[in-house]
């Protein structure tokens, strides 16, 4: 990170001597509801986060991303915003937010907040006005159409959460578009008034000292002007799994439209004046789709690479994916293997010690790449998904398809042993009965060999090597099929993705191991054999 200072008062922007301060940083996602509860109501809040910021500074991350904390009816737990310039009372107030940002800056942490521009809540005053009459002042702030010839939806577009992406408004006789829940109507970004409103919203938070934005559904704001039908190759049905139904269509008109880049051109100009970062949730899986969103081809500073969350644990697949991303992009990729929307990687990779070793090995591969790796809260503890009984599911997706519930990856953070596990003094909003002391920050912090301390050492080595691992070009090392290995300047990263030991050969030269998942403290030369799911980082003397 470039050196920076902050002032406690709101309205004073952070200054820095490096406009690209995020280059080489490590990010950390805080799911606000589940991080830390300060008032005992069982729901995480801003004051709880503020009190736990020293953990993140100790861990060594640089950027803290906060999921939505705005007023919301909570149909999708905050991703249905009813006021973009306020704090939901459940999470605190604006004074709490200001103290959080000030303390974060004092600890050397940057704060990135979620902005949700594709849709609002159906209870947002904009939409309340829009649906009041066809001639309402903000009618054109949303996407309305007359029914189709058969009286049904205007086209065949499908919701990400299942079912048609259109809901009939009986009061006005027209349908409105929603790519997600009916309670989340899509904004009409072809309307310049919408664009102007969001520039004002971004400026509001930048003036309060935030260091950037994570842009929700960044690839979907612009829609095909003609709202043309999507090519369809199978019959979508609401009883189908949502992903299966979504894949019945070729999404060439509803997402990833060229007009979206004009929006981010304007945002980038604004962000540059505050030296703020723009991070896109570009939920497209092919590198060729994601890279056009980031500089120098696009206008965002970073875009998440979500493909690793949807892949089998396969060395050849990871080698191809990382190779393609690094071939196409400079340093604009945000690497993730966990988030609040998908099962935790430890669970996906088999659970238990095997799943933990596999997840850490993949983290090593990501930490050596150019770009910005991110951890999702609890990933540093090697947590598995929490167990949420069917009758306790609250996720709107999980209520339709329990097997697809996102609640398991959203259960609260275990901080210490005892009732509420340091998260709350009350009843947590999601159960955490399956957690034990070994899952907690307090217990793992005391154990030098814990997963927490392994991740902390990895982050430290990441910062060390990123300072001299230039140029960014990646040289893929010929290795056994089970092994993924690459060089980045004088740095070698190597991971055995098999569950059994594999013999490896070091590249020419004298190498010193700086980090190993299986050999304890660094030091010495590269071993002739890597254990199952073992990874290392070495530097050339």
Residue 469's pLDDT is what? 77
Residue 3's pLDDT is what? 28
The CA distance from 115 to 205, in Å, is 10
The CA distance from 462 to 150, in Å, is 59
The CA distance from 524 to 316, in Å, is 28
Let me know: does 427 contact 392? Beta carbons within 8 Å. Answer: no
Dihedral of CA 289/334/183/344: which sign?
positive
Tell me phi and psi for residue 307, to 5 degrees. -55, -40
Residue 14's pLDDT is what? 40
Known catalytic membership, residue 216 = yes
Q: Identify the three-state secondary structure at position 500.
A: coil
Q: For the segment 314-341, what is each residue's pLDDT rounded down to a tens digit?
A: 999 999 999 999 999 989 999 999 999 9
Given 45, 216, 384, 395, the catalytic residue: 216
In a 10 Å sphere around its CB, with 0-12 CB exposed, 13-18 middle and 19+ buried, how is residue 348 labelled? Answer: buried
493 has which bridge partners?
Answer: 486, 537
Given 80, 98, 211, 281, the catalytic residue: 281
Residue 523's pLDDT is what? 75
The CA distance from 493 to 495, in Å, is 7
Nearest Cα residue to 53 out of 5, 94, 98, 106:
106
Tell me phi and psi for residue 452, to 5 degrees. -60, -50
User: What own/partner pairs with CB < 8 Å and gap ≥ 24 does 134-137 have?
Assistant: 134/172, 134/174
Would the pLDDT of 475 be above 70? Answer: yes
In a 10 Å sphere around its CB, with 0-12 CB exposed, 13-18 middle and 19+ buried, how is residue 39 labelled? Answer: middle
Mean pLDDT value of segment 257-280: 98
Q: For the segment 106-127, what is each residue's pLDDT rounded down to a tens digit?
A: 999 999 999 999 999 999 999 9
Mean pLDDT value of segment 123-140: 98
Residue 522's pLDDT is what? 66
Domains detected in the chain: 4-118+194-220+274-459 (3.20.20.80), 125-177 (3.90.400.10), 473-540 (2.60.40.1180)
Let me know: does 178 contact 172? Beta carbons within 8 Å. Answer: no
Let me know: does 371 contact 394? Beta carbons within 8 Å. Answer: no
∠ Cα 315 493 23 (to 5°): 110
Would the pLDDT of 6 be above 80? Answer: no
Would the pLDDT of 17 be above 70? Answer: no
Structure tokens at 329: 């992009």
Alpha-carbon dihedral of residues 321, 324, 326, 332, nearest 10 degrees?
-80
Residue 442's pLDDT is what? 98
Query: Where residue 473 falls among pLDDT bands split at 50, 70, 90?
Result: confident
The CA distance from 460 to 337, in Å, is 19
Structure tokens at 118: 């594709």
Query: Where residue 521 falls among pLDDT bands split at 50, 70, 90?
Result: low
Known catalytic membership, residue 301 = no
3-state secondary structure 143-196: CEECCCCCCCCCCCCECCCCCECEEEECCCCEEEECCCCCCCCEECCCCHHHHH
21 to each of 7, 236, 272, 274, how far by Cα in Å?
18, 45, 12, 12
Would the pLDDT of 5 be above 50? Answer: no
Would the pLDDT of 10 be above 50? Answer: no
């Amino acid at each position: 990170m470039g050196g920076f200072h902050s002032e406690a008062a709101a309205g004073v922007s952070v200054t820095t001597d490096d406009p690209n301060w995020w280059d080489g940083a490590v990010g950390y996602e805080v799911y606000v509801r589940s991080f830390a509860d300060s008032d005992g109501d069982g729901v995480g809040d801003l004051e709880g986060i503020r009190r736990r910021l020293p953990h993140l500074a100790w861990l060594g991350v640089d950027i803290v991303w906060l999921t939505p904390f705005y007023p919301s009816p909570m149909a999708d737990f905050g991703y249905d915003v009813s006021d973009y310039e306020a704090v939901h009372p459940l999470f605190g107030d604006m004074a709490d937010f200001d103290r959080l940002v000030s303390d974060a800056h004092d600890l050397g942490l940057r704060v990135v907040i979620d902005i949700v521009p594709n849709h609002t809540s159906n209870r947002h005053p904009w939409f309340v006005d829009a649906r009041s009459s066809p001639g309402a002042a903000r009618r054109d702030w949303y996407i309305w159409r007359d029914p189709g010839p058969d009286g049904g939806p205007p086209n065949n577009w499908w919701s990400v959460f299942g079912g048609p992406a259109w809901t009939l408004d009986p009061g006005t006789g027209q349908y409105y578009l929603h790519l997600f829940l009916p309670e989340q109507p899509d904004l009409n970004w072809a309307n310049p008034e919408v664009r102007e409103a969001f520039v004002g919203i971004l400026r509001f938070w930048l003036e309060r000292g935030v260091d950037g934005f994570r842009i929700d559904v960044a690839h979907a704001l612009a829609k095909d002007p003609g709202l043309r039908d999507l090519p369809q190759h199978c019959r979508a049905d609401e009883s189908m799994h949502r992903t299966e139904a979504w894949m019945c269509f070729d999404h060439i008109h509803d997402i990833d439209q060229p007009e979206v880049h004009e929006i981010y051109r304007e945002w980038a100009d604004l962000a540059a004046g505050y030296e703020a970062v723009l991070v896109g949730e570009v939920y497209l899986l092919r590198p060729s789709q994601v890279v056009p969103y980031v500089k120098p081809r696009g206008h965002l500073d970073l875009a998440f690479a979500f493909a690793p969350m949807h892949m089998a644990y396969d060395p050849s697949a990871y080698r191809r994916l990382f190779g393609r991303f690094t071939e196409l992009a400079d340093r604009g990729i945000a690497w993730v293997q966990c988030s609040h929307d998908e099962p935790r990687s430890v669970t996906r990779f088999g659970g238990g010690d095997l799943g933990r070793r596999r997840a850490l090995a993949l983290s090593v591969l990501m930490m050596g790449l150019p770009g910005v790796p991110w951890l999702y809260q609890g990933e540093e503890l090697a947590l598995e998904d929490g167990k949420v009984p069917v009758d306790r599911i609250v996720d709107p997706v999980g209520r339709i398809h329990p097997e697809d519930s996102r609640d398991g990856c959203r259960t609260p953070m275990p901080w210490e042993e005892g009732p509420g596990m340091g998260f709350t003094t009350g009843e947590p909003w999601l159960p955490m009965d399956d957690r034990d002391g070994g899952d907690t920050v307090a217990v793992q912090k005391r154990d030098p060999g814990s997963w927490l301390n392994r991740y902390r050492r990895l982050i430290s080595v990441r910062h060390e090597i990123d300072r001299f691992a230039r140029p960014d070009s990646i040289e893929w090392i010929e290795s056994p099929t089970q092994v993924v290995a690459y060089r980045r300047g004088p740095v070698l990263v190597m991971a055995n993705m098999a569950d059994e030991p594999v013999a490896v050969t070091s590249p020419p030269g004298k190498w010193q191991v700086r980090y190993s998942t299986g050999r304890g403290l660094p030091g010495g030369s590269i071993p002739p054999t890597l254990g199952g799911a073992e990874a290392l980082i070495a530097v050339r003397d």
